[in-house]
Amino acid sequence: MTIKVSLFIATLILPQIAQANIATLEQAIDVAISNDPWLKSSQYKRSAMQSMSREALSYPDPQVSIGMMNLPVDSWEFNQEGMTQLKVGVMQMLPRGDSLEIKSQQLALDAKKQPILQADRKAQVRRDVSQVWLDIVQAKKTLELIERDSVLFDQMVEIANASYSNALGATRQQDVIRAQLEVMQLDDKRSAAYQQLNTAKAKLSQWLLNDAFTNSNALSVLDQNEVTLPLIRSIAPKLMQQRPVDSQAVVQHLTHHPLVVAADVDIYRANQGVKLAEQAYKPQFSVNASYAYRDDAPDQMSRTDFFSVGVSFDVPLFTDGKQDQQKAAATAQVEASKTDRLLVLKRLFSNLNGEIQTIQRLQERQSLYAKSIVAQSAEQAEAALTAYTNDDGDFSEVVRARIAKLNAQLSALSIDIALLKAVVRSNYYLAQIEEDASYE
């Protein structure tokens, strides 16, 4: 009975604790990274490559042979002829040159590459989760602005209806219809914001699902009425603030990006492939030994057993069709890996440069809205309402001013969100890895 009561209390308490787990963007990122199956798969791959690297250093298993030699077919007697032997032999193939060490190094590089790719994956998760989180914040703050102004629009509709019904002032039927239309359009914006909110939450839950496809980490913080924009700073502010952008400094910074470092690993692995191809020009040796047992002669005379040992090797004489082609293919793979690295670097540079330009333009627009447009639209709305209250203004002008104020606030919010998203994307391109790039 005590156990059942304890379990019942736990089922009530644990969801509340889980709901409090995610309260900030950083916590959401941490949960997403800890639940990411790709990172777990990469860790397994690394373990597999490390085991294969150690296994590659092992010699091939020796070959054992057992045979009956020179058995006479007329009597099938083992001791009839002196040449009849029971032979047991063993042969061991030796590696060609340093091929085992080189193969082991290649597999070790594959294992070394996984933490680098994991760093890139974590940067991707941070970027994607942050953008979805910002979508949720934008939807919530949009709803805040709409809910705040919807009360005013409802009051304006009531005032217009009362004024028109009592034939007071200059309110006309079209003013009443206009006010009602704006209320309905405001409801449509509210529905669109809820749709955006639900879609963003569904996307975020994808990152927060654990291996059992359950998500006990409810986004309770985002269900409250007010939310704030997260503080997201550039991870390389000096580089981003340069005017004009120093291309050489940007390229130098990007050479430490996980994708570029991973490309460096590929280049070195390809160089190891050239060394491996060169080992094919060296002979491959094998050592063999055997012991042959002979039975005593029919007259009981003792016969001596035999022991043999030998070495065999191949001679790579005709290299045009095999070894030369293998080396040419390995050399071409090195050049291909270098080209792939250049493509990665150019793509990162182009995307980062585009984000820098986007951030500059958005900062200019953000300043314009913060200093002028939002404030002036608010003053215009207040002035129009004051004039209408004093019978010195048009009701339609009041509605237009209110709509302009709300649109200005929504535009300012969109700019703030777009700017934070651009910073998030630029931070992905600016991500660096501390992994030692020395592979020699």
pLDDT tens profile 53-102? 999 999 999 999 999 999 998 888 888 888 989 999 999 999 999 999 99
Q: 155 with 183: CB under 8 angstroms?
A: no
Q: What is the largest CA-CA distance in the chain?
A: 145
pLDDT in tens, 311-325: 999 988 888 888 999
429 neighbors 348 (Cβ within 8 angstroms): yes
Distance CA 362, CA 364 (A): 5
- pLDDT average, residue stretch 277-300: 92
The CA distance from 25 to 200, in Å, is 14
pLDDT digits (tens, 9 = 90+) for 131-156: 999 999 999 999 988 888 776 666 66
- For residues 390, 396, 402, 403, the Cα torsion angle rounded to the nearest 10 degrees is -170
Between CA 135 and CA 363 the distance in angstroms is: 19
Which residue has 């009051």 as its token pair? Answer: 155
Distance between CA 256 and CA 412 in Å, rounded? Answer: 35
Tokens of residue 146, six digits: 């709409």
Q: Where are the beta strands (DSSP E) in 314-402?
A: none
Q: What is the pLDDT of residue 422?
A: 96
Q: Is the pLDDT of residue 264 over 60?
A: yes
Tokens encoding 247: 């291309």
**Once rounded to an integer, what is the mean pLDDT over residues 19-37?**
82
Q: What one-character DSSP code corresponds to residue 210?
A: -
Distance CA 192, CA 199 (A): 11
Helix (H) or strand (E) holding 400: helix 395-430
Q: Are 58 and 261 in contact (CB under 8 A)?
A: no
pLDDT of 439 higher than 60: no
At 183, which helix (H) or strand (E)? helix 173-208
pLDDT band at 158 (very low <50, low <70, confident <90, very high): low
pTM reported for the whole predicted model: 0.83
**Of 359, 401, 411, which Cα lies nearest the Cα of 380?**
401
- Residue 440 in this model has a pLDDT that exceeds 80: no
Calculate the alpha carbon distances from 403 to 185, 191, 203, 399 in Å: 10, 17, 31, 6
Average pLDDT, the chain: 84
Q: What one-character DSSP code corresponds to residue 295?
A: P
Residue 99: phi and psi, rounded to 5, are -60, -40
The per-residue pLDDT for range 327-356, each reduced to its tens digit, is 999 999 999 999 999 999 999 999 999 999
Name the percent of the chain lying above pLDDT 90.
53
Q: Supply 152's token pair.
A: 């005013």
Say what the pLDDT of residue 13 is. Answer: 36
C-alpha–C-alpha distance, residues 334 and 343, integer Å: 14
User: In terms of DSSP bridges, do strands 63-69 and 85-93 run parallel, antiparallel, or are they unpaired?
Assistant: antiparallel
User: In whole angstroms, how far apart are CA 262 and each of 255, 273, 407?
Assistant: 10, 17, 46
Question: Between helices 99-165 and 258-278, what is the axis angle to 10°?
Answer: 160
Alpha helices in 66-172 (DSSP H): 99-165
If you average pLDDT over residues 262-282, what whole number do you get? Answer: 95
Residue 419 phi/psi, 5-degree rounding, is -65, -45
Q: What does DSSP say about strands 285-293 and 306-313: parallel, antiparallel, or unpaired? A: antiparallel
Q: Using the predicted structure, report yes or no on whether residue 17 has a pLDDT greater than 60.
A: no
- From the list 296, 270, 135, the residue with the least C-alpha distance to 201 is 135
Residue 270: beta bridge partners? Answer: none
- Residue 186 near residue 150 (C-beta atoms within 8 A): yes
Report the distance separating Cα 290 and Cα 308, nearest Å. 5
Residue found under tokens 């040796």? 285
CB 109, CB 275: distance < 8 Å: no
